[in-house]
Every structure is written in C-alpha cells, then in structure tokens.
Amino acid sequence: MLEFWYSERCSREIKLLSSIVVCSAIYFCSSIAELAPLWVGLSLLSGILIHVLFTQYLKLATSHPYRITLRNGIYIFQLFALLSLAYVLPEQHKWVLWLQCVGFHALGLFLVSIYSKRAKRHT
C-alpha cells in the first residue's frame, strides 16, 4: 500500500477520495462509540512516524543493504502499533474503537504525505 501511495500512479484525486472515505468512516464509527483523545493522538502519531520512516526508506539507494530490512521493519512496526492499540482499548465497542484507531493512523499518514508533496508557493 505504501509503495502505491508514494508512487506517481497515485494521483491527487485518489488521495483526496481516500481521505474523504477515511474521515467518513471515522465519523460513522464515532456515532457508535467515541474514541478518547489519547488514542486519537497515538494513532495520528504512529501514522506520522510511518511517513517519516518511509521517506527515509525512499531516500536509500536501491542497492543499499538495509533497504529491505527497513521496509520490513516499517510494516512490522505498523502492525505492532495497531495491534497494541487494539489490545489496550476498552472492551465495550472495541471493534468500532479499533476501526477509528486505524482510520486516524491512516489519516495521519495521508495528511503528512499530502502536505509534504504539495506545490511550493512563490512569494
């Protein structure tokens, strides 16, 4: 997923539509159960960290010996972060809260990656 998101094939329209769908899903899930601000912040922070790590991965040369290790580490960290959040969430409406965590995680990644690729303004 990250390779497609950071590739040239992923247009601005796809990124915008993805962001709108994720925000809609978060809004729908929040009507069932509201996620605490602490978990929102942790989810957003993990999404931002994934962006930072993946941009470092993209800067490495393709022949660099640690390139594959970093990519696998990014996916393992992402999985570990989301599963850890799922483990510590309250039991009532756990699946809805976890969906919101995944949504905020994706939203953190989306917003930072879209902002970093925006056109520079000349003043």
Give the pLDDT confidence of 83-98 residue by residue, as tens digits: 988 888 888 888 999 9
pLDDT for position 89: 87
Q: What backbone phi and psi angles, to 5 degrees, belong to 66?
A: -95, 5
* In-domain check, residue 3: no
* In-domain check, residue 101: yes
**Number of structural domains found in the chain:** 1
Domain that holds residue 75: 38-116
* In-domain check, residue 58: yes
**Where residue 123 falls among pLDDT bands split at 50, 70, 90?**
low
pLDDT for position 8: 85
Q: What backbone phi and psi angles, to 5 degrees, belong to 53?
A: -65, -40
Mean pLDDT of 74-90: 89
Length of the chain: 123
* In-domain check, residue 83: yes
Alpha carbon distance 110, 89 (integer Å):
23
**Where residue 62 falls among pLDDT bands split at 50, 70, 90?**
confident
* In-domain check, residue 84: yes
pLDDT of 116 over the 80 cut: no
* In-domain check, residue 4: no
Task: Kindly report, residue by residue over 9-59, the tens digit of the pLDDT.
Answer: 888 899 999 999 999 999 999 999 999 999 999 999 999 999 999 999 888
Alpha carbon distance 38, 87 (integer Å):
15
